[in-house]
């Protein structure tokens, strides 16, 4: 299970735990007056304040027809009574015969906000009558939540099948960056070690470099080869101390850049088209001529030699790592 899936499940589990008891109590009370719309409205208005972060309560029957008003803390809107809600995304799934079910995120038709709906089954004498729906806006639910830390591990993404199908009909065309590769990589090393660049991406084939800096992380700088090989280029970037919390050392930066060069020239058919390095999350990115991309931690990248990437390509192209 990915860290994204884990984060989503954790947030949904927390919401379900917070609303299960008040929703269950509301379901029991609503069963006593079902399907009296006015009586349901009164119960919903009395209860909405006890359900954390809920901004909208309403009731609908087994056919997906709303029988109550749309109830908010500010009042009830009866204009939606009798409306068919059966085409809402969460009603296309299996509905709960007891307890609470949470929907996926969707855009509310009633208010223009992204929402999650909690559905509470309403039953009398073990006979399902309908459901109470409680809507929760994401901007309320996530207001105080923290961003989940990413799980850094090796990931591979296959590229355009049209490119992969013709990869052995092509050869690397030397680029301007290839002609100045040592100068460019030395400059990248200096910028990342001494000038506050925490993320760099090198486009070998098209001859450009993209740089992200601590001083201005929301904007990246794009440079041509002729700019980078200018001896005075570093004057444009202030000297900055190397960050103590970086996951990549300056020596590892040099090692990674040397491996980029080796992968660029190791084979005339399968070769490195672009690469990236981020010293803060320790992630290396590689895109090859076959359009396949890899992302992996620096330590894992440094453990692999050229034979891992290219060793079997000239014999069995169909099983190539890239």
**What pTM, to 2 d.p., does this model score?**
0.70
pLDDT digits (tens, 9 = 90+) for 109-160: 888 889 999 999 999 998 999 999 999 998 887 766 666 667 778 888 886 7
Domain segments of the chain: what residues?
A: 3-141, 155-319
CB 264 within 8 A of CB 137: no
CATH number for domain 3-141, candidates 3.90.245.10, 1.10.520.10, 3.20.20.70, 3.30.450.20: 3.30.450.20
CB 228 within 8 A of CB 207: no
Record the tokens describing residue 283, joined without a space.
Answer: 């992630």
Using pLDDT thresholds of 50, 70 and 90, give the confidence band for residue 320: very low
- 301's CB contacts (< 8 A; 6+ apart) are 256, 259, 284
pLDDT digits (tens, 9 = 90+) for 193-234: 999 999 999 999 999 999 999 999 999 999 999 999 998 998
């Amino acid at each position: 299970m990915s860290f994204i899936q884990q984060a989503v499940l954790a947030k949904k589990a927390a919401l379900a735990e917070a609303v299960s008891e008040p929703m269950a109590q509301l379901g029991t009370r609503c069963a006593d007056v079902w399907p009296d719309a006015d009586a349901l409205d009164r119960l919903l208005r009395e209860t909405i304040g006890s359900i954390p972060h809920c901004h909208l309560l309403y009731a609908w029957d087994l056919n997906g027809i709303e029988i109550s008003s749309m109830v908010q803390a500010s009042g009830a809107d009866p204009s939606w009574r009798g409306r068919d809600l059966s085409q809402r995304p969460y009603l296309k799934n299996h509905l709960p015969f007891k307890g609470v079910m949470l929907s996926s995120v969707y855009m509310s038709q009633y208010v223009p906000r992204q929402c999650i709906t909690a559905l509470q089954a309403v039953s009398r004498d073990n006979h399902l009558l309908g459901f109470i729906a409680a809507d929760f806006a994401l901007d309320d639910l996530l207001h105080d939540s923290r961003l989940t830390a990413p799980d850094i591990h090796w990931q591979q993404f296959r590229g355009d099948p049209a490119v992969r199908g013709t990869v052995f009909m092509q050869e690397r065309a030397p680029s301007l960056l290839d002609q100045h590769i040592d100068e460019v990589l030395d400059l990248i090393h200096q910028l990342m070690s001494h000038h506050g660049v925490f993320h760099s991406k090198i486009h070998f084939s098209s001859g450009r470099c993209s740089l992200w800096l601590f001083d201005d992380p929301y904007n990246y700088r794009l440079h041509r080869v002729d700019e980078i090989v200018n001896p005075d280029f570093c004057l444009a970037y202030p000297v900055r101390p190397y960050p103590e919390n970086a996951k990549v050392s300056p020596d590892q930066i040099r090692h990674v850049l040397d491996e980029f060069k080796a992968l660029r020239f190791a084979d005339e058919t399968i070769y490195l088209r672009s690469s990236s390095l981020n010293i803060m999350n320790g992630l290396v990115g590689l895109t090859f001529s076959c359009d396949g991309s890899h992302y992996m931690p620096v330590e894992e990248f440094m453990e692999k030699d050229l034979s891992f990437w290219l060793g079997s390509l000239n014999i069995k192209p169909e099983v190539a790592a890239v």
